[in-house]
Amino acid sequence: MSENRICAVRLEDEHSAMAILDQTRLPGEVSYLTLTTQEEIWDAIYRLKVRGAPAIGIAAAYGIYLAAKAIQAQDRAGFAAQFQKAKDYLASSRPTAVNLFWALERMQRRMEAEAAAGLPVGEIKAALREEADAICREDEEVCKAIGENALTLLRPGMGLMTHCNAGAIATARYGTALAPMHLGQERGYNFKVFADETRPLLKGSRLTAWELHEAGVDVTVCCDGMCSNVMKNGWVDAVLVGCDRVAANGDAANKIGTSTLSIVAKHYGVPFYVCAPTSTIDMACKTGEDIHIELRKPEEITEMWFEKPMAPAGVKAYNPAFDVTDAQFITAIITEKGIIRPPFAQGLAKLMEK
């Protein structure tokens, strides 16, 4: 990928602001929003202006740093109380993506460690900036490692299918599920990628197709319901998806429609790979049944993206943001630390012990 790459989230510390790529405006407009208040950052996460589990985590880290920077209290106890209030507020923006909470908890641990060491508030703020930068830098390294691990399972010229957007604009760089596609493009693998449209927010056609097309990847958009036909035709050699949370037994929550794709892939004997940073693995969550699934506004189905409403006025619409892919339909979970195969409970426990 070019060094002039588009960045999903960046800190503009000199302006006490965070800039995000507004992903609701893609592919028609590449536009950055400058966020200076906690309300703006909360709204950007909730409204999917910044999205993708790793990017949400980065936005949360920089967001809580900016909140801490603005705290006026000079005593550590007062500072900690206001920090906790800001953390709780940002945590309420999205309930499913574990990276949001992981990043906020990590920032809180750093704050508490520096406070316990007796550092003055000004130095605690500087440490929080350092920690947020580390979260962003580490995510880029993690994504590249996931891509390298995934490439060991793939061959040049393969047909690949993906769902939603787990790409560079959802992370610090490269992406998770799209990392091997970007790395493969750099190395002449000539993958042929099928990107599910991904209803209702069209993250596949608006974001994944845009991102891969910009990178020169051979990408074809297909409607979600076409996955069976595409696989039956023999055009897909592997499916790669990202995820927002992996349970201890290997169940994985991802954008609605992923579960259907996994079942179809199993039917046709197509390997189904979940690309997951270890930050998305939640060992406190025993199974997918314990993952809270966010329900969103029905207008995203009935009205959004259409010039006129495309359903009768007053009709009900069911709009869960995610579904849970059962571990039995997952061929392997690809992390930055290695590839985990069934039985997932043992493999994930061993991985996370490290």
Give me 136's structure tokens: 């962003």
Catalytic option among 139, 196, 244, 282: 244
Give me 329's structure tokens: 């339909």
Q: Measured in Å, how far apart are the chain's first and last C-alpha atoms?
A: 31
Query: Is 244 in the active site?
Result: yes
HEC profile of the chain: CCCCCCCCEEEEHHHCEEEEECCCCCCCCCCEEEECCHHHHHHHHHCCCCCCHHHHHHHHHHHHHHHHHHCCCCCHHHHHHHHHHHHHHHHCCCCCCHHHHHHHHHHHHHHHHHHHCCCCHHHHHHHHHHHHHHHHHHHHHHHHHHHHHHHCCCCCCCEEEECCCCEHHHCCCCECCCHHHHHHHHCCCCCEEEEECCCCCCHHHHHHHHHHHHCCCEEEEECHHHHHHHHHCCCCCEEEECCCEEECCCCEEEECCHHHHHHHHHHHCCCEEEECCHHHEECCCCCHHHCCCCECCCHHHHCCCCCCCCCCCCCCCCCECEEEECHHHCCEEEECCEEECCCHHHHHHHHHHC
Give me 137's structure tokens: 């830098």
Asked if 141 and 173 touch (Cβ cutoff 8 Å), the reply is no
- Work out whether strand 32-35 and strand 218-222 pair parallel, antiparallel, or are unpaired: unpaired
Between CA 226 and CA 53 the distance in angstroms is: 26
Between CA 317 and CA 264 the distance in angstroms is: 25
Show which residues are catalytic: 244
